[in-house]
Structure 1
Amino acid sequence: MTIHVWRLTLEPVGNDVAWSLLLNNGTGTSAVDAGIIRDTRNEEHAAMDIPPLAGKSALLDPDHERGLATLLGRRLLPPMLREALEAGTHTLYVATRGWLANLPWEALVIDSDNRRLIEAAVLVGAMSPGIIATRVRTAAPFTPTGAGLAIVDAGPPRNTARQDYSIYPGGLPVGLVTDLAADAVAPGDYSMSAEMAGEALTGTPWSRLLYLGHIAAGHQDEPAATALVFQRRGEADKLTAAKWLAEPQTWPAPARVALIGCGSDDARFMEASGLPVAAVNAGAHLVTCTRWALPADAPADASGPTTGLARAVLHAHRSAKPVHALRAWQVQQLCTWKKRPTPEVSPFFWASLATYLAPETNP
């Protein structure tokens, strides 16, 4: 069976979008097509309705979501690619920056039957080869029996006067605790500092890391300010991407890393120096992150959509083929959304995920 491996690169250039399309059918990679999508101001403006604002997002309303996914699919996916996806087995690497990286690529409509991109292809986020080639360390290969570390809700206790607080103030949901039973959980009780996280990461040869908690946002001028939030003496203790990039040996990453929180992906910034890049620089072969902010579930609610998403990522990262396992969950969520659209199964949650792959050895 031939697997068609595509790489679609898109980059905003003023009000336009430049794109190129490569294809590897098993006999080498070749350039297929390239071009300019003129005047994408409407698409960029529509994308502003995706991140949550006062609890609302275009992806939570079925009609609005389908209209947006149809518009973006028609305008941003090259016709040749959409036609090729009608049959066959495909993997699509998507390399984007700026506002284009904040789109629900998995949910984009590819035909008149409301078929979505995730139904036609395995999607992978594409990271710059230069980032991978120049990283400081490479983790040991993943093993199914390898130990996993879960850093859950390590931020300070809830305080409505600030944004850096715990997401499970009443303790971890029972279902999540059950899922994490096979892993070392540190700590879920608001007691871990960034220094302690480094000690935990260096003390055992982990195969997996799940960080589930608050993420402090960076900004366009300083994407490396994006941070994992820990706590020291009840106050926020942030591990910024800049510090992680500078000291990868202090916080070594295992082969598989999941960073589940509010907008942990950094591709929306024009400069790639955020948390996924820091994780790869520290050794990760695979990084799953979130494109936009996700709401905290009700206390102790293991069935809430954000907790459910984290649990799906956890199970996928334990599997032999994590990207395929995560895709299967996303397709399941999509099928439910098409039949009975409720906020819990909307693309706002399952299409928020981006997964990047990096070779296990430097070139």
Structure 2
Amino acid sequence: MGDCVLSTLILRFADVGVATYASLRVVGDPSRTVTWVVQAVHVREALDDLARALPEPSAGESVADAVDRALVTGPFATRETELALARRLGTVLLLEPAWRLLVDYASTPRAVLFVSPSARLGRVPWGLLALPDSEADSHRLMELVDVLMAIPPNIVNSPRPRTAWADRRGHPPLLVLDPRVPGQRADSTLGSVLGRPSADTRLARHFAGGVSSRHVLPKVSAATELFRRTDADRDWLTRMLVEEPGRLLYVGHASAAEDRSGRADQAALHLAEDAPLTAAAIMTRRMPMPPRVALVACASGGDYRFDEATGLVAAMVLCGAQLVTATLWSLPTTAGYRQFTGGTADPMADLVVAVDDAHDDDEGGCAVNRWQRDRMRQWRSGDVTAHPLYWAALVTFAVDGAR
């Protein structure tokens, strides 16, 4: 079982002209509401610092240069620089009265904080934010509360199918693991995310139990057959979804639409077919999503980066999901991590296993938070393999009382 639900708080931001307006309120106690304004220059400076931490190329950088920077020399590369970034974000985005209110509601079990960011703040890893104090190990937001993302009201209030986790809990999960995009070599831009399938990999061992008990979709005879499938196109995916899986785990490539000036519904998943499956196509086809969906793919959780947040997360919710875990930015593959750090760890596999396990919990979003706290504390204690580029990227969106 999860460890949440005493109180619920709502943190909301809105971009208005050159400023970003913010409010923090306690559901059921409006007298505790806190409001403040963040000036655009401060937001821009903090987000520039965050951008330097992420593996996305800046002007003149190659993809390899960006991954090297993010893993080895950027703000996420050391405990000290990561904490400095977390404090900077915490200082700029949450004023002292807001932190004081959050501390007041810190409890066991934890309260739940729903975050509704503005487009400017759509890529902020909220759980990572640190109290702006001088302690060596400042408390993080996710240590005070379980951090979930709110679904925009226009999506929540739209007509949509609703399937509760309680009704599907015992159904097998649908696993779409690193589908093979036609014409792409394993080491190309849309090549393998998880590497060559092998029965000896951590992920193959993790999924082997479900395969042997026939409690996964698709039905396969060996765990390695779940990876790099060439038949996993949109029609195959639809057929699998019609079989009513308990949840969906997708690990692969995603394409994000261009920030703000683009259309969120053009964000897409890359399956085993030439054309990517856009959020718009998912909604048009009314693909029947299970109550829980995990999208471990490049910036799959970027809905809020658009004025109309109708990206991949919205598509999942409008097609039936109530809990969606996604990522805020691109994640280096295991091969990339090992190439640039010289280590032998497999942080991508760690993340996939953690999300898969968490989504089996009654409170899947809170379970993701627990894993993130564990990894953050390992990182804080000096474990360089618990790299924040991975655990800080995860966000979970929830609706209809899901936690």
* TM-score exceeds 0.5: yes
| Equivalent of residue 243 in structure 1, options 270, 281, 292 | 281
Structure 2 residue 76 is the aligned partner of structure 1 residue 59: yes
Tell me the percent identity.
26
In structure 1, the partner of 2:251 is: 212
In structure 1, the partner of 2:163 is: 139
Task: Give the drift of 1:162.
Answer: 5.1
Aligned length: 351
Deviation string for 1:86-136 (max 9, x for gaps)? Answer: 353222111113231211211111142311111111101011122022143
SS at match of 2:161: coil
In structure 2, the partner of 1:17 is: 20
Distance 2:169 2:124 in 1: 32
List runs of 5+ in structure 2 lacking aligned partners. Answer: 58-65, 219-225, 339-343
In the alignment, is the contact (CA less than 8 A) between 2:10 and 2:26 conserved in 1? yes
Task: Give the drift of 1:341.
Answer: 4.6
Task: Give the drift of 1:207.
Answer: 1.3
Aligned letter for 1:78? L
In structure 1, the partner of 2:92 is: 75
List runs of 5+ in structure 1 lacking aligned partners. Answer: none
Task: Give the drift of 1:156.
Answer: 1.9
| Equivalent of residue 103 in structure 2, options 86, 106, 125 | 86
Distance 2:383 2:192 in 1: 30
**TM-aligned CA distance change 1:135 to 1:177, over 3 Å:** farther
Deviation string for 1:160-199 (max 9, x for gaps)? Answer: 7952222234115632123223242544133111111111
In structure 2, the partner of 1:176 is: 203
Distance 1:59 1:229 in 2: 28
In structure 2, the partner of 1:264 is: 300
Distance 1:4 1:64 in 2: 33
Give matches, 1:204-353, under 5 Å: 204-220=243-259, 221-232=262-273, 236-248=274-286, 251-265=287-301, 266-298=303-335, 304-342=346-384, 344-353=385-394
**TM-aligned CA distance change 1:222 to 1:130, over 3 Å:** closer
**TM-aligned CA distance change 1:130 to 1:217, over 3 Å:** closer
In structure 1, the partner of 2:178 is: 153
Distance 2:5 2:292 in 1: 27
Structure 2 residue 360 is the aligned partner of structure 1 residue 357: no
In the alignment, is the contact (CA less than 8 A) between 1:16 and 1:36 conserved in 2? yes
In the alignment, is the contact (CA less than 8 A) between 1:262 and 1:290 conserved in 2? yes
Aligned letter for 1:75? V
Task: Give the drift of 1:238.
Answer: 1.5
In the alignment, is the contact (CA less than 8 A) between 1:297 and 1:306 conserved in 2? yes
Distance 2:120 2:319 in 1: 27
SS at match of 2:131: coil
Distance 2:206 2:155 in 1: 33
**TM-aligned CA distance change 1:259 to 1:17, over 3 Å:** same
Aligned letter for 1:310? V
Say what the alpha-carbon RMSD is for the aligned residues: 2.5
Task: Give the drift of 1:8.
Answer: 0.7
**TM-aligned CA distance change 1:193 to 1:109, over 3 Å:** same
In structure 1, the partner of 2:234 is: 194
| Equivalent of residue 189 in structure 2, options 143, 146, 163 | 163
In the alignment, is the contact (CA less than 8 A) between 1:257 and 1:284 conserved in 2? yes
In the alignment, is the contact (CA less than 8 A) between 2:264 and 2:308 conserved in 1? yes
Give matches, 1:107-126, under 5 Å: 107-112=128-133, 113=135, 114-126=138-150
Distance 1:30 1:293 in 2: 40
SS at match of 1:283: coil
**TM-aligned CA distance change 1:11 to 1:74, over 3 Å:** same
In the alignment, is the contact (CA less than 8 A) between 1:290 and 1:352 conserved in 2? yes
Of 237-246 and 171-180, the range deviating more from structure 2 = 171-180
In structure 1, the partner of 2:61 is: none
> Normalising by the residue count of structure 1, what TM-score does the alignment of the two structures yield?
0.89
